[in-house]
Chain A
Amino acid sequence: MSLSPASGIGRFYKHSAKIIRFVRLGCTNRPFYHIVVMERRKNQHQPVIEQVGSYDPMPNENNERLVALNTERIRFWLGKGAHMSEPAAELLGISGLLPVHPRTYMTAWRNRKAAAEAAALAEAEGSQKAAETA
């Protein structure tokens, strides 16, 4: 599958619903996403209207996840009334361009809770072992 150019070749109606969303590229076990604007009803692998960024969900050697955002065009499309898919909204929220999405907060507190439980479990096990040895 050949890549479409960033300016996009997708045809669209003037008043159709547009959406800012991810397109999964990359290959098996190696996701890579383009952040694109396209017609909402379309399949993700159809030609896009415009590519406005990219997202690499796998951490690089410096343990960073890289995101590129064409903020000017994102602002334009949002101003034109484009929708956002939920992951895209989360990512834009994290970037500080838009308010942080509630789902991000939810993941955060769930992660914190899981970590606290794991720590408590480990501590309990440790104390148990200490009691056994004593």
Chain B
Amino acid sequence: MSDYAIEATQLVREFKNGPRAVDGIDLGVSPGEIYGFLGPNGAGKSTTVHMLTTLLPPTSGTARVAGYDVVSEGSHVRAAIGAALQEAALDPLLTGREHLRLQASLQALPRGERNQRADELIARVGLSHAADRKVRGYSGGMKRRLDLAMALVHSPSVLFLDEPTTGLDIQSRTALWDEVARLAREDEVTVFLTTQYLEEADVLADRVGIIDHGHIVAEGTTDELKAQVGRPTVEAVPADPEEAARLAELLARFGDPCGSTKGVAVRLETGDTGLADVVRALDDAGIEVANLWLHQPTLDDVFLAKTGRSLEGSDDDEAEPARGELAAEPV
């Protein structure tokens, strides 16, 4: 018997007249872990989730969730898991509270517990004010929160979240992240989270798997993955443009030059600790800089290194926060 909450071995899903959406992936997610499944559109993330949640039978390979086989013990798997899928399919004619009661009834919660559980979850996801309104009037963020609450009705041990924050505003996204983190930390729920947002995986996931064209191309903690692709970069813009050549000469002592659109940049040989030496050297040389940044490698760099291209969907809005790991304010 395995110790994993989610385990897959050579899992394959092939569609008729189509490519292999998932092509022999191996997974092992420990109980209480948040596993981020990162990849661009069409990489195979949702297909994997559909197989692990028993919505789609695998073409070949095996998978066990909460200790049960997804093919032969599907009913046990469904009783143990909660899932909020990409399209929050809700009934526009039901209220939020009615959705939760329906879900509780589907999961065979005792009648006495249903209302109590519904009230508790409505409050937890911040929908108390709208609980008795039909969901056709809900915003996208409210629907997502209701969807999450429904997935939690029966206190599942494993939670699948398929791109849970797509289309949400920053506030809703942050609130959902807080709740997911709390579930893993306090309730010891195993969370399998698919996303195409680098920041989401970075902030939430204990470990990340990167999937591309149905294959897992990299797996590990975010730090491990970033360490695989390289060292941090220091970038400086001289206060006086005439000093650019001297600045480049000085920075070259700390690492290999690399491209910069704003000033001069080098990949530090000594990692993060080199920044202090750079600042001291600039001071000693009397070179005044207008801006100085320390760029950590991002998951996008990891994706780029592993697949040869940048992650789709990581538009500027998403990429910037990852770059936001700037350790030093402009000097």
- Chains A and B come from one and the same complex: no
